[in-house]
Amino acid sequence: MASILVIGARGIPDVEGGAEKNAEELFPRLVEAGHAVTLLSLEKNVRAPTYRGVKLLPAPTFWLLKTDKLIYYCAGIFYAARQRPDIVHLQGLGAALFLWVYKLLGLRVVVRYGSADYVLAKWGLVGKAGFLAAEFQLRFANAVISVSDTLTRRLNGHGITSRVHSIPNALDAPEPQWPGWRHGRPYILAVGRVTFQKNIDTLLKAFSLLSVENPDFDLRIVGSLSDTAYVASLSALTTPHVIMTGAAMRSEVPQQLSECALYVNLSHHEGNSNATLEAISHGCPVLVSDLPENREMPLMPENFVDRHDVDAIVAAFKAALTNPERFVVNRAGFLNWDDVARKTNSVYLAIL
């Protein structure tokens, strides 16, 4: 039907990150729908020329101003100008920094708006200015795919009201299902990069208090340790029962989920957390912060906790570890990835 150039996902498959998980599930399904999809990846993440019909194009990268994506984004403009795809799909707000260039080239542009985490204090003036400039440009996109109604309302508040489509992320196929921990020390599991955004310091404080009365549990945190300054700041809060595994391939996460006693996400900020959706997919007991974006998911009141209240978090841990079945989420009301692909395809067809 159409040629699609995807820019903004660092690679597929098995690459850490929400935009990458979305890309891994979505674009092979759009290939099945008849589109020719090329995904521009960071060179280090390309292990084969294609993945389930999606052509993987390596882009040269190097670290500049604390990011490895600036040269990548410039490469995206070069390939878009040369290939002239029917649609340029920007898989994140950062990639939309150069949306104006694609429009000057006369190209149709779809932007996936997955997060506004620049509202956090960790971003300096330059970083915030870049994201705000990218967000402003969304009004010039042919279509914006917002992963939550909260983000859609944010755009509406900035005067971006037309051509915005809310399409959240989806649950995975439910395999393997959570049987509860069966051997070894039981553990609470958190999945995601170890950053301020993920509120790991509060998680560690709560786990330390829990361990006073429940010393038989471990805390396992699966995610990149690349934010070395933040990781170093956590050293005083870690104990031998805190296990930071570092980044894991996405294919390794289901096994971690299937054996945990509880999945927890206390983030200060999320768009529509794929990690949480994966935990729900596998039937894990789930505890998440009471963010507006999380509140959009059809969870039960006991699944939410105040991310700032350490005592409340400890109490929720105890309740979930004592009666985990109460914290398992019903799959009804969530999309599957076929639904996401169908809705995205409708957006494409509307602008072609």
69 lies in the same domain as 218: no
Q: Which domain, by its residues, includes 305?
A: 187-327
CA atoms within 13 A on the CB side of 269: 13
Judged by average pLDDT, the poorest of 57-71, 121-135, 156-170, 236-250 is 57-71
* Residues 193 and 264 both lie in one domain: yes
Asked whether residue 8 falls in the same domain as residue 122, the answer is: yes
Strands of the sheet with 164-166, listed across from one edge: 50-51, 54-59, 36-42, 3-7, 87-90, 108-113, 143-146, 164-166
**Quick check: is 178 in a domain?**
no
Is the residue at 262 inside a domain? Answer: yes
- Quick: pLDDT tens for 198-225: 999 999 999 999 999 889 999 999 999 9
Is 197 found in the same domain as 137? no
Asked if the structure places residue 346 within a domain, the reply is: yes
Judge if 137 and 59 occupy the same domain. yes
The answer to the question of residue 182 being in a domain is no
Cβ atoms 271, 92 nearer than 8 A:
no
Output 142 or 178, whichever has higher pLDDT. 142
Domain match, 156 and 248 both: no
Whether residue 258 is found in the same domain as residue 239? yes
**At residue 77, does pLDDT exceed 90?**
yes
Provide the token pair at 268. Answer: 């200060």
Q: Are residue 65 and residue 7 in the same domain, yes or no?
A: yes
CATH of the domain at 220: 3.40.50.2000
pLDDT at 127: 73
Pairing of strands 164-166, 143-146: parallel
Which pLDDT value is given to residue 231? 95
Q: With a cut of 80, say whether residue 186 has pLDDT above it.
A: yes
Mean of pLDDT values over 78-86: 97
Q: What is the mean pLDDT of residues 120-134?
A: 76
How many Å apart are CA 11 and CA 226, to the nearest integer? 18
pLDDT value, residue 250:
81
Helix then strand count (H, E) for the chain reads 12, 14
Stretch (H or E) spanning 37: strand 36-42
* 18 touches 2 (CB < 8 A): no
One-letter amino acid at 64 equals L
Say what the pLDDT of residue 70 is.
Answer: 79
pLDDT confidence bin for 269, thresholds 50/70/90: confident
In the predicted model, is pLDDT for residue 86 greater than 90?
A: yes
* pLDDT of amino acid 177: 61
Report the pLDDT value the prediction gives residue 147, as an integer from 0 to 100: 96
- Determine the angle formed by the axes of helices 274-281 and 18-32, rounding to 10 degrees: 70
Residue 177 lies in a domain: no
Across 236-261, b (16+ Cβ under 10 Å) vs e yields eebeebbebeeebebeebeebbbbbb
Q: Confidence class of residue 29 from pLDDT cuts 50, 70 and 90?
A: very high
Question: Do 166 and 204 fall within a single domain?
Answer: no
Q: What is the CA radius of gyration of the chain?
A: 20
Contact, 286 vs 260, CB < 8 A?
no
pLDDT at 64: 54
Query: What is residue 120's predicted lDDT score, i.e. its pLDDT?
Result: 63
Range in 21-35, 152-166, 174-188, 250-264 with the lowest mean pLDDT: 174-188
The set of residues, in sequence order, having a beta carbon less than 8 Å from that of 177 and lying 6+ positions away, is: 258, 282, 283
Highest-scoring range by mean pLDDT, 43-47, 78-82, 328-332: 78-82
Please, what is the Cα angle at 348 between 343 and 352, to 5 degrees? 150
Do 257 and 113 sit in the same domain of this protein?
no
Asked whether the predicted pLDDT for residue 121 surpasses 70, the reply is: no
Query: Does 76 lie in the same domain as 15?
Result: yes
Contact yes or no for 194/227 (Cβ under 8 A):
yes
Q: How far apart are the first and last CA of the chain?
A: 10
Together in a domain, 248 and 342:
no
Q: Which residue from 97, 142, 198 is spatially nearest to 4, judged by alpha carbons?
A: 142
- Categorize the per-residue pLDDT at 81 as very low, low, confident or very high, splitting at 50, 70 and 90: very high
Evaluate if residue 175 carries a pLDDT over 70.
no
Q: What is the largest CA-CA distance in the chain?
A: 63
If one counts the domains in the chain, the total is: 2
Residue 342 included in any domain: yes
Q: Is residue 61 part of a domain?
A: yes
Domain membership flag for residue 310? yes
Residue whose token pair is 């330059």 = 126
